[in-house]
Amino acid sequence: MDELRPLIPVLEEYKADAKLVLQFKEEVQNLTSVLNELQEEIGAYDYDELQSRVSNLEERLRACMQKLACGKLTGISDPVTVKTSGSRFGSWMTDPLAPEGDNRVWYMDGYHNNRFVREYKSMVDFMNTDNFTSHRLPHPWSGTGQVVYNGSIYFNKFQSHIIIRFDLKTETILKTRSLDYAGYNNMYHYAWGGHSDIDLMVDESGLWAVYATNQNAGNIVVSRLDPVSLQTLQTWNTSYPKRSAGEAFIICGTLYVTNGYSGGTKVHYAYQTNASTYEYIDIPFQNKYSHISMLDYNPKDRALYAWNNGHQILYNVTLFHVIRSDEL
């Protein structure tokens, strides 16, 4: 618990900022409505005063949105070990679109021949107890690239290139779809193996799939998916060999790739989907338990969730925010 305390102010600040944005939006909407009603009824002086208040609120809202805007990854904090449990490989996560007060943790041990997902009521329960609800998936999953998003779990069906969207409340399949040409069954896995051919992930803009194809010579392919239909919305072919990647995650539409999964580890490749460009970078981070088999970004928490050799870990991220000219 003591290790988690440094994360609390960061998460609380982010939640406070988000609430402040909503408050500003409501104030602007209310004042705009008042302006429309009073413009024809009152004098120019009062109208100008109200207009000034609206302008002031809009400036405050813009400043707040700039603070919360997407940015470029510049740093990763020291790891915080939340729990030690399970096998060497697995995944764990929270839902970035969960409503306020829903703090459930989802836990999936292993990378194949398993179909049971654990649900913990909160992060505190996850840390301190083994009290959980078990959900049985209709098929075993493949790899550790699962995500929970807006109440559904998305996973790669074992020994296939099929993606399944499974509703965790009704425990029914909502959609299945093949990811065309994607390698599977350890054809194009991450460097650590483990049937990690297809890695699903989410960021501020939605759902993504990271994989490789024969058509792209085994190099990483990034596709943005419709979270309801699972249709591919757009695809980018990179020149980075998937089998050479330790792990990968997406922040603000940029794919970040690590140079390995054991020993000294760093993020050293970034592909910007908004510009279809890439660069080599050098962002080291501590690989505390020497074997990372899952590394995913949660845009709600602004944190990286990792599974490291039977330990469930969190990292804070530092983003450099770029203010666009059209926001000024």
| 1 within a domain of the structure (yes/no) | no
Residues 182, 143 share a domain: yes
Structural domain boundaries, residue 125: 73-320
Q: How far is CA 142 from CA 89, 145, 186, in A?
A: 12, 8, 10
Tell me the DSSP string of 183-200: --SSSS-BTTBTT-S-EE
Residue that is written with structure tokens 């059209």 in the block: 326
Q: Do 52 and 179 fall within a single domain?
A: no
One domain for residues 40 and 157: no
- Asked, for residue 238, whether it belongs to a domain, the answer is yes
Where a domain ends, among 24, 49, 69?
Answer: 69
CA quadruple 120, 123, 125, 128: dihedral, nearest 10: 130
Is residue 92 located within the same domain as residue 206?
yes
Over the chain (328 residues), the average pLDDT of each successive run of 10 is 51 55 66 64 60 66 57 96 97 97 97 96 95 97 98 98 98 98 98 97 97 98 98 98 98 97 94 98 96 97 97 96 54
302: left (phi over 0), alpha (psi -120 to 50) or beta: left
Looking at the 3D structure of the chain, how many domains does it have? 2
Q: Clarify whether residues 116 and 243 are in a common domain.
A: yes
Q: Say whether both 60 and 79 belong to one domain.
A: no
87 and 64 co-located in one domain: no
Flag whether 138 is in a domain: yes
197 in Cβ contact with 186 (< 8 Å)? yes
- Examine the domain organization and report whether 30 and 174 are in the same domain: no
User: Are 36 and 183 contained in the same domain?
Assistant: no
- pLDDT value of residue 66: 47
Domain boundary residue among 52, 69, 86? 69
Q: Is residue 177 part of a domain?
A: yes
Q: Are residues 31 and 122 in the same domain?
A: no
Q: Are residues 19 and 124 in the same domain?
A: no
Same domain membership, residue 83 and residue 65: no
